[in-house]
Structure 1
Amino acid sequence: MKHYSYDEWMEYVSDEINDQKREQLENHLYTCDQCLETYLQAVSANVTSLPVLSNESNFTDQIMAMVAPKAVPNTNNDLSTMETVQLVPDTNNTINTINTINNTVNRKKRFYQQAVFHYLLAAAATVLLMFSGAFQSLANYANSIESPQHIQEKKPSVTEGVINKTFAWMDSLEKKEADKK
Structure 2
Amino acid sequence: MKHYSYDEWMQYVKNEINEKDRETYESHLYACDQCLDDYLLAVSANESSLPILSNDGSFTDLVMAGVSKQKPPIKNKKPFYQQAAFHYLLAAAATILLTLTGAFQSLATYADSLENPQKIQAKKPSVTEGVIDKTFAWMDSLENKEVNKK
Q: TM-score range by the shorter chain?
A: 0.3 to 0.5
Kindly indicate which of the two structures has a greater share of residues assigned to helix.
2
How high is the TM-score relative to the length of structure 1? 0.36
Q: Which has the larger share of strand?
A: 1
**Which has the bigger relative contact order, CA under 8 A and spacing at least 6?**
2
